[in-house]
Chains A and B, each alone.
Chain A
Amino acid sequence: MSSEFEPARMHYCRHRAIKRGIVIVLCLSAVAAAGAEEIWKTVAQMSAEDKALFDPATSTARDAEYPYMPAERYPFEPPYTAEEMGYRSAEFPHISRWPGTILDVFGAITSSGYINQGETIFYAKPAGTGLETYLYGTKPGDVYTSWMAYHTFPPESEGAQQLWVPYRTDKEFQTKMDLFVYSPQLRRVRRQPEPRRDQRFADNAQTFDDVLGRDAWEFAWELLGTDVLYETIRFPNTRPTIRLNRGDKGFVERNTASVKSMGDDFPHYLPDGGVACWVVKATAKDDWLPGYSEKTLILWLEKHTFYPLRQEKYDSDGALMTIEVRLAEHQLPELGTFGYTALSTVYWNIPNDLISYSFHDAHSAHDWSEQEKAMIFTAEFMRRDWLYKPLKSQILIEDPDEYFMRPHLFPGKFPGARNVSIPADLEARVRAQNEAGHLIFESGGTATSIAGE
């Protein structure tokens, strides 16, 4: 695209309060914008090399035990169908599929600069490592992991705990998770209804399924083409460095400009620093997810690992709801391409112009002993008020001015499949942040009504 802004006729149709018609689409990155038309390719335009890796079949043999899964065993051999790419991407949910500890530093900011952050220490105990164990080692109704979460910030939440016990589900067994909450103010462990899957958490842009991950069989998959990403999470120019807790190395200062989207040791960066991606579209199947508000997902999957670096969510009317972008790190090299995990994720909820982040600081693999497994991952453990493995972080954002910027919109890419039009007031805020290199705040702004809002 050659111009900075491109008029769009699409209206932002989900909210009655948003006036139709006056919508301008942005290009947010000079780098991306300058070469966007040359970079992204439809399936027909893909290189011969890429075409050789892609199997266009939409109907493949089915698994004998689980007819909703492909007969070919995960992780599949190339060429890959779009469905198989979807399965491969499911290897990388928000929380890695291996046992470990994470200090999840998270937050959300509004367009006025109201910031709400938290720190939660997660202990994860999956039944086995990797998606393969999940696919073939668990049955619907089986518990496939346990996460114990201990909140250490803000002061109001300090000492609050949660135990998440997710189940594998299918059409018959639909309970996604047992959820227990301990409130130090109530001094009680209470079982809570599981969160609604497609509903963002209060004061956050992240949904329950964003955390838990989505089962590939609940979606119909289509390959849109290929693309190259040069930037996912955007640090502001007001935050030139961050201090990461790198486990054994202690706190390490990093220049934010040097943080790469697939980590430092990723071997497949293009010569210009870009990351080549498959771009796939996932549409929620009505018989699996009736009424699911996040009807369509478009994912940018790194070509070699299928790691989802970017995800866009659209509602049933095709309106853009959320953009999720990630920074990955190769935390467990012994797992090869499966050893990547999210270092950081930013979610931009467009209807509310709410920007959330989650930073997995002090993330390390940890093999729990049998005694620890029996002790920690129970509801009653929470009553003990026991911060079993304390972790520290210096990632919290001290000043709203230092908050992450809104992700790129990439308006020119895959125009037939993507409608990234946004309301005019939001567009003005995006333009202002791009000019300043950091967020520019104002009161009011967009607040549209979408399903579950």
Chain B
Amino acid sequence: MGDMWSRFDRSIAKFDPIGRHVRKPIERAIPNLRFKGFLRQWTDVLLDEDGIDGFRDQDFRFLQLQNLLEIEMGYHVAAGLDINVVSHFLYDGVYDWQDSDGLFADSIDRTAEIYHDRERILREAYISYRAPRFDLKLGKQQIAWGKMDGQFIDVVSAMDRRESVQLETEDFEWRRLPTWMANATFHFGQNSLQLLYLFDFEHDRQALPGSPWASPLSPPPSAITDIVLKPKRPRSGDFDDHEYGLRFDRSQGALTYGFVYFYAWDKNPVEHVVGTVISGGRTLLRLRPEHERLHHFGITADYATTFSGIPYVNVLPTVFRVEALYTNGVRFADFGKRAAARAGANLDGTSKRDTLRAAVATEFGLPARSTLIFQGSLFYTFDWESTLGAGFGGGIGDEWTVIPVAFFSRPFAFTRDRLSMELTVLPVVSGPSANWQGMKTKLRLKYKFSQYVTGQFIYNGYDSGSATDLYGQFEQWDNFGWELSYEF
């Protein structure tokens, strides 16, 4: 008996070199120290190399060749008092390991290729103090609010969006940009009240020009004729620039609900017209990107029940979730006003609107350990006008956008559940202008090699929609990839 696959299974069952030779000796030598981490390799490959697409020269195949080492250490100082540090070491080989003129983001910001500065390497560093009714975390940390897939009330931490439309909820942990803050939570009965004071500001990082996921709609810096000044960002040293958050949660049997308020800065600046310049007979705008103060009001709730007497499945365990964020005072670029400014009007080329983003989800527990989720997401801009550009929380290039997401997952018993699949379909509809904006399809196959090593194969397809639509612009970005992860 016994064959190669069995020998492989038994051999890899014991594969834990860092756990055995690094983690255990360290934790044995320093009992109060917790040491853990992972080594992960992601590779995404375009199905086709399509050459010129919009403003992009798609002369590359690899969308990412990322290698990430995370080291997490926690030192238990005294009862309730701990120090935690998380470090990230990332290298993306897409700029070095393929010959491409279309990829040059590493020359704009080296962080696109490698984490080389303290800000990125020292990812989290905070002191935590816990008492029965009170928690305090002081230092650099990330905050995740909400329960939904996607970002609805999850507004506190900025995000590295280098993967653009391919950024997924499960990647938020590695892509959030932690910031320095004081984070206190009071616990009383089934209630909790969290207070945040952020004295440092992190802005979102979008896909840089010349990065794999830079939009083909974005002209390269050399093609922009207006004068874009250095962004004006909130400053840590200015008390008036600090941010404040509040979150209340309550569990009441089958129902859980919560409210959030966040007095924050828009994490993406909007260009304000601050002047004009006549050059070569043309009027050029002087544009200064500025962040806008926002008031975020959010709710979240979920409710569980089990339906009985359902055909085929008899009982149907079900969870309903709802989440919504109303944002007051979102600044939009207003291209109508910008044109007027170019013509001489004293306007800054922006408009303020309120926005709403919300989602309702239903999750079913099906036979064969399968899960089915339907989640309808709405993004809405109040008093929308066709001259408005993009703004936080609003419709995507439109007054409203609806994304009815369907998600299905199940393991396969014939592999003893080592192999599982997940299928996600995200069609985007908006109005009144764009209507259909394309569809994203994601298929993930995950395989457990051992209790330490997992592998994934992932396909992402972007179909239909026009070249200016959310997914339509990435129609030539269909890709497959794999992820290998070793945790220790």
Contacts and interface: CB of A to CB of B under 8 A. Distances in A.
A117 interface: yes
A450 B375 CA distance: 31
Interface residues on A, range: 35 or more
A193 B13 contact: no
B5 A175 contact: no
Nearest to A380: B192
Given A174-B306, A202-B411, A380-B187, A371 B132 contact: yes
8 contacts: A118-B451, A154-B487, A193-B371, A203-B416, A384-B130, A428-B1, A441-B2, A443-B6
Contacts, number: 189
Interface stretch (B113-121, B343-351, B362-370): B362-370
Contacts of A371: 132
Given A196-B317, A378-B251, A116 B451 contact: yes
B36 interface: yes
Interface string A181-195: 000011111111111
Interface stretch (B90-98, B141-149, B206-214): B141-149
Interface residues of B, number: 73
Interface stretch (A92-100, A106-114, A263-271, A414-422): A106-114
Contacts of A378: 187, 190, 251
A292 B367 CA distance: 11
Contacts of B306: 174-176, 193-194
Interface of B: 1-6, 9-10, 13-14, 19, 36, 38, 128, 130, 132-133, 135, 142-144, 146-147, 169-170, 172-173, 185, 187, 189-192, 249, 251, 253-254, 256, 302-306, 308-309, 314-315, 317-319, 321, 363-365, 367-369, 371, 411, 413-414, 416-418, 420, 448, 450-452, 454, 485, 487-488
A165 B135 CA distance: 24
A441 B10 contact: yes
Contacts of A178: 253-254, 304
Contacts of A400: 9-10, 13
Contact of A113 (B9, B143, B315, B487): B9
A170 to B, nearest CB: 11
Interface in A192-246: 192-197, 199-204
Contacts of A290: 309, 314
Contacts of B364: 193
Nearest to B144: A187
A341 interface: no
Interface in A362-420: 371-372, 374-375, 378-381, 383-386, 398-401
A187 B173 contact: yes
A113 B144 CA distance: 39
Contacts of A112: 5-6, 9-10
A441 B147 contact: no
A378 B256 CA distance: 11
Contact of A352 (B143, B413, B451): B413
Contacts of B189: 374
A203 B418 contact: yes
A78 B367 CA distance: 41
- Most B CB contacts (10 A, CB to CB) among A155, A188, A291, A449 go to A155
A111 to B, nearest CB: 8
A72 interface: no
A346 interface: no
B144 A194 contact: no
Contacts of A452: 367-369
Closest 5 CB pairs of A and B: A193-B365, A193-B317, A187-B144, A113-B10, A155-B487
A224 to B, nearest CB: 28
A347 B143 CA distance: 40
A379 to B, nearest CB: 5
A66 to B, nearest CB: 19
Contacts of B128: 385
B256 A379 contact: yes
A330 B66 CA distance: 54
A263 to B, nearest CB: 30
Contacts of A118: 451
A186 B417 contact: no
Contact of A190 (B147, B192, B451, B454): B147
B393 to A, nearest CB: 20
Contact of B147 (A191, A202, A291): A191
A115 B6 CA distance: 11
B451 A453 contact: no
Given A186-B144, A193-B317, A194-B317, 10 more contacts: A112-B9, A115-B9, A115-B13, A156-B454, A187-B173, A398-B14, A399-B10, A428-B1, A443-B3, A443-B6
A135 interface: no
A381 B190 CA distance: 9
Contacts of A49: none
A151 to B, nearest CB: 12
A151 B452 CA distance: 15
Nearest to B145: A188
A447 B253 contact: no
B319 A186 contact: no
B254 A386 contact: no
B126 to A, nearest CB: 11
Contacts of B146: 188
A440 interface: yes
